[in-house]
Structure 1
């Protein structure tokens, strides 16, 4: 199944879902996560491996971490080549003063926002969807 490309349809169907838990960013010089750590995101960079992991796993493994985040999934199935979704979501969150790190999965976009601002982010995204209807 291919994802949606029409921006208005994407925005109407955002259906943001706040996933339970607290997630953190950590980085390692090596190329794999330690035993007992199940990352929800990995990015390989020249400087090392970036992991987004549940905060409890980072603490249990002694991993230093930064940016405690809430994880919001946009349940609309967006095409990887859709134009404007990230910009529209970013603008809505910018207007609320909420920082956001976006990760594109094959089926959905995932947002990592400051944990304490999760409810504000969800409200802003729900308002964006309602305005696009």
Structure 2
């Protein structure tokens, strides 16, 4: 499968919410995502709720770009293509993937550059 088939004309929605990425020892019921590893737990939560999380470290100011398409597990290179074009304009990413959808978080100040690059790739960006 060619990632371009999914990127070209694919819809990307940009969240109204701004998120924080927190390193903590527990989860939070209002979290967008929780990732547990042996030595730490990462919680992605709306910034307005970050005070409810007991965190060792917090990265503020992330906007969520959701690829509104079901991406098959066999698809190779999709995130690499997205990350590569964003890296060309020095946009750092934090990625959370669910069963069939990818969410790429970019810093609030990098949102406009990220949107321009994704539109140049052929994505239809909403928000």
How many aligned residue pairs are there?
121
Look up the match of 2:67: 74
Task: Tell me the distance in 2 between the aligned counterparts of 1:102 and 1:25.
Answer: 11
Q: Spell out structure 1 runs of 4+ moving beyond 2 A.
A: none
Look up the match of 1:115: 108
Structure ranking higher in strand proportion: 2
User: Offset at 1:14?
Assistant: 2.8
Alignment of 1:1-133 (within 5 A): 5-30=1-26, 32-33=27-28, 37-59=29-51, 61=52, 63-64=54-55, 65-129=58-122
Secondary structure in 1 aligned to 2:86? Answer: helix
User: Offset at 1:62?
Assistant: 5.7
Unaligned runs of 5+ in 1: none
Cα root mean square deviation, aligned: 1.7
Task: Tell me the distance in 1 between the aligned counterparts of 2:96 and 2:83.
Answer: 12
TM-score by length of 1: 0.81
Secondary structure in 2 aligned to 1:38? Answer: coil
Unaligned runs of 5+ in 2: none
Deviations 1:51-103 (A, max 9, x none): 000000003x2644214201000112211231010110011101111001121
TM-score by length of 2: 0.85
